[in-house]
Amino acid sequence: MRKKLPIGIQTFQKIREADYYYVDKTGFALNLLEKGTYYFLSRPRRFGKSLFLDTLKELFEGNEPLFRGLYAHDIWDWSLKYPVIQISFGDGVVKSVTELKERIAELLCIHQQMFGITCEAASNAGCFSELIRKVHQKYGQRVVILVDEYDKPILDNIESPDTAFEMREKLRDIYSVIKGSDAHIKFAFLTGVSKFSKVSLFSGLNNLEDITLDPHYSSICGYTDTDLDAVFSAELEGLDRDEVRQWYNGYNWLGDSVYNPFDLLLLFRNRQFRPWWFETGTPTFLIKLLSERQQFTPDLARIMAPESLLSTFDVGNIPSEALLFQTGYLTIDSARYLPGRLELTLRYPNKEVLASLNDCLLQALSQDPMVPTRNVSRLYDILMANDLPALKDLFHSFYASIPHDWYRKNQLAGFEGYYASIFYSYFAALGLDIRVEDSTNKGRIDMAVRFNGHIYLFEFKVVEMTPEGGAMEQLQAKGYAEKYKQCGEPIHLIGVEFSRENRNIVGFELAQG
């Protein structure tokens, strides 16, 4: 039987009372309570963090009717009720430390009124500490503290480092109160998008247990394939399950892979495959950062990084890998455990992110969003018709449209890397099956693409840098096509040669593999 879709709803009570679809996460809540007290969780935006926090709130407040039929109902002791201080920085944009102070003061005032308590401390940190202590004394139960979007005031100002640094210092004062109030706290849970280093933001709260990469909690937010079958089976009718999986599944935090819930709910409502999640927040800062750092875009699908690097996000120190991972544009592909070290290989989570992120990168490069839009559409038509000679004209036109000043300022992975990035991003913007530097027994193929029953093998050369031979010569001499012949599909060899002087394609050869 179909139910209402909880699109954008983050209130557990509303979902349960109005009979919306709900994926039961209460088992995770009980497990957390059994094993610890202070927790931190990082997940991308619109992944259900706020709903999980609100579920915890209702559980601790003892609202038993809301949990009937759920895992926690027959296990939780409903005779116990705990006071809950729930803080969220998710509403609005805080643009200055003064505004942040006012926002914190407002939140503390709301809780004073709710609990019937008056704080006498002058500072926000002092008031927060006093509130926790007095609530415990008044209600005879230790306090539960839930903080949602703990990092948003910092992220809202990440392009203004001085302001972001001030935000961080002010928030650190507030969060350090939690550790100092240990005697009065039953449970604390903080969530956000980013994972700031403990040294920078949580130096006063170093007893937090970070469950971001705990395999047991990989699906604490998001939907698994099992969830789809158990909860949303009625909505899957008429949809290609493999296509659903390719578009929206694939997020992984060392455990079960999950779907982005926002994507699935919009898909179920609109019955169209579109980048629903990506469109809710274009990552302008991320695109700007990747462009400034001259990111070799093919590398985004195969980044390798130690766990420690993915946890070093901080104001003025933002590794690209950490930013991409924490914001959900890359996810974990595999993990390798070394002595005292966890090494992670990252990848795009799914077709939505692969296509949308590369489309944004192309728009930033061309400085005109309509140029890649037209060219990506044209590329699709060319591939559908298998009109390979037209590829040369398409890319020649695009390279010619790039401002001359861009070439002067950028030396992205050498010019061969720059040209290869352009090629890769165009194919990736269509969400195609792409392999970069695919290994064979005789070398690495620069780029392999499978689409519409055909296999395309690309080799890129810069003529001023490769006097030893052309791109097509290398494709044929090293027999790169042999690896793909077992697929039984037509193989096309495409040798592409660029010129640094001409800043464009000067050689484009085609052959059958």
Tokens of residue 407, six digits: 């070439």
Q: Is the pLDDT of residue 413 over 50?
A: no
Distance between the two ends of the chain, CA-based, in angstroms? 52
Where is pLDDT greater, at 350 or 285? Answer: 350
Q: pLDDT value at position 505?
A: 85
Give this prediction's pTM.
Answer: 0.91
Nearest to 85 by CA among 113, 64, 63: 113
Using pLDDT thresholds of 50, 70 and 90, give the confidence band for residue 412. Answer: very low
Lowest mean pLDDT among 94-103, 181-190, 279-288: 279-288
Q: How far apart are CA 480 and CA 473, in angstroms?
A: 11
Q: Is the pLDDT of residue 290 over 80?
A: yes
Q: pLDDT value at position 443?
A: 72
Using pLDDT thresholds of 50, 70 and 90, give the confidence band for residue 415. Answer: low
Q: Is the pLDDT of residue 407 over 60?
A: no
pLDDT mean across residues, the chain: 90
The conformational region for residue 299 under phi > 0 = left, psi -120 to 50 = alpha, else beta, is alpha
Percent of the chain with pLDDT over 70: 93
Residue where the block lists tokens 């193989």: 491
Residue 366 CB partners (closer than 8 Å, separation 6+): 372, 398, 401, 402
Lowest mean pLDDT among 196-210, 276-290, 496-510: 196-210
The conformational region for residue 144 under phi > 0 = left, psi -120 to 50 = alpha, else beta, is beta
Residue 355 CB partners (closer than 8 Å, separation 6+): 275, 428, 429, 430, 431
Q: How far apart are CA 400 and CA 375, in angstroms?
A: 13
Q: How far apart are CA 184 and CA 178, in angstroms?
A: 9
Residue 15 CB partners (closer than 8 Å, separation 6+): 6, 9, 21, 22, 51
Percent of the chain with pLDDT over 90: 65
The HSE-up count of residue 215 (CA atoms within 13 Å, CB side) is 5
Nearest to 472 by CA among 499, 452, 443, 492: 492
* pLDDT tens for each residue of 84-103: 999 999 988 999 999 999 99
Nearest to 298 by CA among 372, 369, 348: 348
Q: How far apart are CA 105 and CA 149, in angstroms?
A: 17
Q: How many other C-beta atoms can be found within 10 angstroms of the C-beta atom of residue 217?
A: 20
SS3 state at 434: strand
* pLDDT tens for each residue of 444-484: 888 999 999 999 999 988 887 665 568 888 888 888 888 88
What are residue 24's phi and psi, to 5 degrees? -70, 115
**Could you tell me if 267 and 244 are in contact, meaning their C-beta atoms sit under 8 angstroms apart?**
yes
Regarding beta strands 341-347 and 209-210, do their DSSP bridges make them parallel or antiparallel, or are they unpaired?
A: unpaired
Tokens of residue 81, six digits: 């009720």
Q: How far apart are CA 96 and CA 206, in angstroms?
A: 26
**Reduced 3-state DSSP string for 59-95:** HHCCCHHHHCCCCCCCCCCCCCCCCEEEEECCCCCCC
Type of residue numbered 137? Q
Q: Is the pLDDT of residue 259 over 70?
A: yes
Nearest to 99 by CA among 21, 51, 156: 156
Nearest to 327 by CA among 158, 458, 164, 461: 158
Q: How many other C-beta atoms can be found within 10 angstroms of the C-beta atom of residue 414?
A: 13
Long-range contacts, stretch 466-471, CB < 8 angstroms, 24+ apart: 470/495, 470/497, 470/507, 470/509, 471/495, 471/496, 471/497, 471/507, 471/509
SS3 state at 243: helix
Domains annotated for the chain, with CATH where assigned, are: 12-217 (3.40.50), 225-279 (no CATH), 367-512 (3.40.1350)
